[in-house]
């Protein structure tokens, strides 16, 4: 009897030990060796830092990961713009070097909100996609991940979407047609149930402790939109290359809305664990409060495939009362590719310019002229309706782009220019415009319309008033005193001066007059009392202010 009791006690104690080992994850080697080898991922620690043990449920990586196709074997870069053979060779649960600054490791994080992870993918390689998902499960405390929502953007291989949901927490939604990453992410956001949304690309590997500092910052400052430092996963070798800790680069751009990394302003002094303000985010990887994302009107779903959405979101976050930050304690590896491996139905240049143009038109106010200067072809690209996006901006009462440039990104200087004024030349609610239905092109007054680029005039230091390569031109003989829009020629007939709200023609000393507003603007003797010669002109450009 005594012996039996001792046996019982021994049994209970060993059960307790087994339970503890199970939950701490240290028993996975046993599971792996004996009963369910395929369905558990071991809790091997990373090079520095512990990972979480993960059940893959009924998911079988062996049958999911397929042998490479013939075209992949011929050219492993062809289909994905990275070495897919190498990716296939690397374990889907590989350990990573912990790339954080050591001060990050000591920080305890408590009371964090949970997040929904959203990953849009289009024709992603199975191995990289699985590694993305597994890295999230391995390196995130389970209670912080509500769900992993994969949006299959109508990839050729629909099977991926049928197999992956066998992994606990993973859900796959397949688009009925190719939508592009912007509308796909918006779809994911609409399905998400957690307070915080975390977006990832489909070829990432999250590093130790990646999520906690992001969530911590959002809990502290709900309008902060936070990005990790992106480490580089090499496209050929798949080596995980740790981004240098100093200086931590931040996001910037040029007037053509091309993203670039740059060192933060020198005046800023940071502790290694402090968030850094960034003018824009790179795009693929960030966390945002769900209600803040919704309030900001999500992304502009009028944008297609890829590009520009990082600017749209960053500009509106800053201009509408939030901030975009890089949180250096959070590290995520991303495969940075040199080209898009997928087709754009409308061509990549067209699509990106169209998306960028929507951003410029809605958010950049008078600074959009610098965008057009850098990308002249953008003026010709139709860009769809933007009235709802403009309405959104009004409703949110967002600040101006001038405020953004002055306060958030003063390093971006307006291009050196000989422009003295830019904007509309108005009489009441009517604006100087061109009537392209005529040859030669005449100038007229039309109701002011912020969507009409032909109402935006640039008055140069030399005196020419130009729009889209055309200059206001008048000559008593050749134009019969009509004011026409002709190709700029450096000719005297194209030189104008401002005098007490009048636009005076240098050659004749006469004034621009709207006495026949429908037929066309004409030159007439200047009369200070004539309201048809009085113009409301844009404010002078103080940055390069020179008198006309
Ligand atoms: N993507 C998508 N639909 C598309 C294009 C891209 O869902 O039409 C996904 C893609 O699979 C990736 C993410 O959007 O997960 C970002 O695309 P990509 O990695 O090509 O952009 P990059 O990192 O080069 O900026
Ligand atoms: Mn990517």
For the stretch 151-190, pLDDT in tens is: 999 999 999 999 999 999 999 999 999 999 999 999 999 9
Residue with tokens 């009004």: 394
Q: What's the pLDDT band for 272 if we cut at 50, 70, 90? A: confident
286 CA distance to ligand 1 middle (Å): 14
Q: What's the pLDDT band for 43 if we cut at 50, 70, 90? A: low
CB 46 near ligand 1, within 6 Å: no
CB 180 near ligand 1, within 6 Å: yes
Atom of ligand 1 nearest to the CA of 124: 11
CA atoms within 13 A on the CB side of 128: 28
User: Vertex 473, ends 471 and 475: CA angle to 5°?
Assistant: 165
- The pLDDT score that the predictor gives to residue 203 is 98
Atom of ligand 1 nearest to the CA of 334: 23
> What are the tokens at 80?
């994905």
Q: Is the pLDDT of residue 213 over 80?
A: yes
- The pLDDT score that the predictor gives to residue 545 is 35
Q: Mean pLDDT across the chain, nearest whole number?
A: 90
What share of the chain in percent tops pLDDT 90? 73
Q: Is the pLDDT of residue 517 over 90?
A: no
CB 340 near ligand 1, within 6 Å: yes
Whether 28 and 40 have beta carbons less than 8 Å apart is answered as yes
- The pLDDT score that the predictor gives to residue 15 is 67
SS3 percent helix, strand, coil of the chain, rounded to 5, is 30, 25, 45
Could you please state the CATH topology (level 3) that the domain comprising 419-533 is classified under.
Trefoil (Acidic Fibroblast Growth Factor, subunit A) (2.80.10)
CB 343 near ligand 1, within 6 Å: no
139 CA distance to ligand 2 middle (Å): 20
Q: What's the pLDDT band for 37 if we cut at 50, 70, 90? A: very low
- The pLDDT score that the predictor gives to residue 267 is 67
- Higher pLDDT residue, 161 or 8? 161
Mean pLDDT computed over 89-106: 92
- The pLDDT score that the predictor gives to residue 23 is 45
CB 520 near ligand 1, within 6 Å: no
DSSP for 230-243, written as a single string: EEEEPTTT--EEPP
CB 532 near ligand 1, within 6 Å: no
- The residue whose C-alpha atom lies closest to atom 4 belonging to ligand 1 is 180
Mean pLDDT computed over 236-265: 89
Atom of ligand 1 nearest to the CA of 178: 8
Q: What's the pLDDT band for 427 if we cut at 50, 70, 90? A: very high
- Per residue in 152-163, pLDDT (tens digit) is 999 999 999 999
CB 309 near ligand 1, within 6 Å: no
Mean pLDDT computed over 214-228: 98
Checking DSSP bridges between strand 224-233 and strand 323-335, what pairing results, if any?
A: parallel
Minimal CA–CA distance to 154: which of 188, 121, 129? 121
- The pLDDT score that the predictor gives to residue 13 is 72
Exposure string over 54-93, b if 16+ CB within 10 A, otherwise e: bbbeebebeebeeebeeebeeebbebbbbbbebbbebebb
- The pLDDT score that the predictor gives to residue 2 is 61
Atom of ligand 1 nearest to the CA of 337: 24
Contacts of residue 6, Cβ cutoff 8 Å, sequence gap at least 6: none
CB 152 near ligand 1, within 6 Å: no
Q: How far, in Å, CA of 217 to CA of 107, rounded?
A: 13
- The pLDDT score that the predictor gives to residue 16 is 65
CA quadruple 65, 66, 68, 71: dihedral, nearest 10: -120
What share of the chain in percent tops pLDDT 70? 91
Q: Phi-psi region for residue 436, left (φ > 0), alpha (ψ -120 to 50) or beta?
A: alpha
Q: What is the spatial order of strands in the sheet that 470-473 belongs to?
A: 419-423, 457-460, 465-467, 470-473, 484-487, 441-447, 430-435, 426-427
82 CA distance to ligand 1 middle (Å): 13
Burial class of 355 by CB neighbour count within 10 A (0 to 12, 13 to 18, 19+):
buried
- Higher pLDDT residue, 268 or 530? 530
The CATH class, in words, for 42-335 is: alpha beta
- The residue whose C-alpha atom lies closest to atom 11 belonging to ligand 1 is 121
Q: How far, in Å, CA of 490 to CA of 461, rounded?
A: 12
- Ligand closest to 121 (CA) is 1
Q: What's the pLDDT band for 148 if we cut at 50, 70, 90? A: very high
Angle between helices 181-191 and 309-319 (to 10 degrees): 50
Residue with tokens 């749209």: 312
Find the range with the poorest average confidence among 69-73, 125-129, 390-394, 435-439. Answer: 435-439
Find the range with the poorest average confidence among 39-53, 353-367, 373-387, 426-440. Answer: 39-53
- The pLDDT score that the predictor gives to residue 39 is 62
- The pLDDT score that the predictor gives to residue 504 is 96
- Ligand closest to 123 (CA) is 1
Whether 112 and 219 have beta carbons less than 8 Å apart is answered as yes
Return the best residue to mutate from 156, 185, 232, 284 for the ligand 1 pocket (most ligand atoms within 8 A of CB): 284
Residue with tokens 């509308």: 183
User: What ranges do the domains of the chain cover?
Assistant: 42-335, 419-533
Burial class of 131 by CB neighbour count within 10 A (0 to 12, 13 to 18, 19+):
buried
Burial class of 229 by CB neighbour count within 10 A (0 to 12, 13 to 18, 19+):
buried
Q: How far, in Å, CA of 543 to CA of 416, rounded?
A: 9
Minimal CA–CA distance to 32: which of 93, 76, 98? 93
Whether 117 and 217 have beta carbons less than 8 Å apart is answered as no
DSSP for 342-404, written as a single string: S--TT-HHHHHHHHHHHHHHHH-GGGHHHHHHH-GGGGGS-----HHHHHHHHHHTPPPHHHH
DSSP for 179-198, written as a single string: -BHHHHHHHHHHH--SSEEE
- The residue whose C-alpha atom lies closest to atom 14 belonging to ligand 1 is 181
- The residue whose C-alpha atom lies closest to atom 8 belonging to ligand 1 is 180
Q: What's the pLDDT band for 32 if we cut at 50, 70, 90? A: very low
Respond yes or no on whether the N-terminal peptide bond of residue 232 is cis (omega within 30° of 0).
no
270 CA distance to ligand 2 middle (Å): 28
- Per residue in 341-382, pLDDT (tens digit) is 999 999 999 999 999 999 999 999 999 989 998 898 898 889
CB 107 near ligand 1, within 6 Å: no
CB 337 near ligand 1, within 6 Å: yes
Contacts of residue 185, Cβ cutoff 8 Å, sequence gap at least 6: 118, 120, 151, 199, 299, 309
CB 121 near ligand 1, within 6 Å: yes
Greatest C-alpha distance within the chain: 126
Return the best residue to mutate from 181, 259, 280, 340 for the ligand 1 pocket (most ligand atoms within 8 A of CB): 181
- The pLDDT score that the predictor gives to residue 25 is 43
CA atoms within 13 A on the CB side of 167: 29
- The residue whose C-alpha atom lies closest to atom 6 belonging to ligand 1 is 181
CB 182 near ligand 1, within 6 Å: no
306 CA distance to ligand 1 middle (Å): 7
Atom of ligand 1 nearest to the CA of 305: 8
Q: Is the pTM of this model over 0.75?
A: yes
Mean pLDDT computed over 319-329: 97
229 CA distance to ligand 1 middle (Å): 18
CB 201 near ligand 1, within 6 Å: yes
Matching CATH topology for 42-335 and 419-533?
Answer: no
Contacts of residue 81, Cβ cutoff 8 Å, sequence gap at least 6: 235, 337, 338, 339, 340, 341
Return the best residue to mutate from 228, 299, 306 for the ligand 1 pocket (most ligand atoms within 8 A of CB): 306
> What are the tokens at 275?
């968030």
Q: What's the pLDDT band for 480 if we cut at 50, 70, 90? A: confident
CB 318 near ligand 1, within 6 Å: no
Q: What is the spatial order of strands in the sheet that 496-499 belongs to?
A: 496-499, 502-505, 511-513, 522-524
125 CA distance to ligand 1 middle (Å): 12
Respond yes or no on whether the N-terminal peptide bond of residue 123 is cis (omega within 30° of 0).
no
- The pLDDT score that the predictor gives to residue 548 is 29
Query: How far is CA 43 from each of CA 21, 25, 51, 166, 386, rounded to the nearest angstrom?
Result: 11, 6, 6, 20, 50
- Per residue in 127-145, pLDDT (tens digit) is 999 999 999 999 999 999 9
Rg (CA), the chain: 30
- The pLDDT score that the predictor gives to residue 356 is 98
124 CA distance to ligand 2 middle (Å): 10
- Higher pLDDT residue, 50 or 413? 413
CB 153 near ligand 1, within 6 Å: yes
């Amino acid at each position: 009897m005594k012996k039996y009791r001792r046996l019982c006690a021994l049994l209970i104690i060993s059960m307790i030990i087994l339970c503890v080992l199970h939950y701490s994850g240290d028993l996975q080697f046993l599971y792996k060796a004996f009963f369910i080898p395929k369905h558990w991922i071991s809790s091997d620690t990373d090079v520095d830092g512990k990972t979480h043990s993960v059940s893959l449920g009924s998911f079988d990586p062996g049958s999911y990961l397929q042998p490479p196709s013939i075209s992949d074997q011929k050219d492993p870069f062809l289909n994905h713009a990275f070495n897919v053979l190498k990716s296939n060779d690397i374990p889907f649960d590989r350990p990573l070097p912990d790339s954080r600054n050591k001060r990050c490791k000591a920080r305890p994080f408590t009371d964090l909100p949970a997040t929904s992870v959203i990953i849009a993918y289009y024709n992603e390689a199975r191995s990289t996609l699985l590694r993305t998902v597994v890295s999230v499960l391995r390196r995130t405390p389970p209670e912080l991940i509500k769900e992993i929502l994969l949006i299959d953007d109508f990839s050729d291989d629909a099977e991926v979407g049928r197999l992956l949901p066998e992994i606990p927490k993973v859900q796959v939604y397949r688009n009925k047609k190719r939508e592009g990453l912007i509308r796909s992410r918006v779809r994911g956001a609409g399905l998400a149930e957690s307070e915080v949304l975390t977006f990832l690309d489909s070829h990432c590997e999250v590093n130790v402790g990646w999520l906690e500092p992001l969530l911590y910052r959002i809990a502290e400052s709900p309008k902060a939109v936070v990005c990790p430092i992106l480490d580089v996963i090499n496209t050929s070798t798949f080596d995980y290359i740790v981004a240098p800790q100093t200086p931590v680069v931040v996001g910037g751009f040029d007037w053509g809305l091309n993203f670039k990394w740059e060192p933060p302003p020198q005046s800023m002094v940071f502790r290694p664990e402090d968030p850094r303000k960034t003018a824009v985010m790179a795009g693929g990887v960030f966390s945002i409060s769900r209600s803040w994302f919704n309030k900001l009107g999500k992304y502009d779903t009028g944008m297609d495939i890829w590009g520009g959405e990082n600017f749209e979101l960053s500009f509106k976050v800053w201009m509408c009362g939030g901030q975009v930050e890089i949180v250096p304690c959070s590290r995520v590896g991303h495969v940075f590719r040199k080209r898009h491996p997928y087709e754009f139905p409308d061509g990549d240049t067209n699509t990106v310019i169209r998306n960028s143009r929507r951003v410029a038109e809605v958010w950049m106010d008078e600074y959009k002229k610098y965008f057009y200067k850098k990308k002249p072809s953008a003026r010709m690209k139709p860009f769809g309706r933007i009235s709802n996006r403009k309405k959104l901006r009004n409703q949110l009462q967002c600040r101006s782009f001038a405020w953004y440039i002055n306060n958030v990104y003063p390093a971006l200087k307006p291009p050196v220019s000989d422009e003295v004024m830019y904007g509309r030349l108005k009489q009441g609610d009517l604006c100087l415009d061109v009537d392209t239905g005529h040859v030669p092109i005449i100038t007229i007054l039309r109701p002011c319309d912020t969507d009409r680029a032909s109402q935006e005039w640039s008055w140069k230091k030399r005196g020419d008033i130009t729009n889209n390569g055309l200059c206001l031109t008048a000559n008593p003989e050749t134009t019969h005193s009509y004011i026409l829009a002709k190709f700029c020629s450096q000719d005297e007939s194209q030189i104008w001066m401002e005098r007490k709200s009048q636009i005076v023609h240098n050659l004749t000393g006469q004034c621009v007059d709207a006495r026949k507003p429908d037929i066309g603007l004409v030159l007439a003797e200047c009369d200070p009392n004539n309201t048809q010669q009085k113009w409301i002109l844009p404010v002078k450009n103080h940055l390069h202010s020179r008198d006309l």
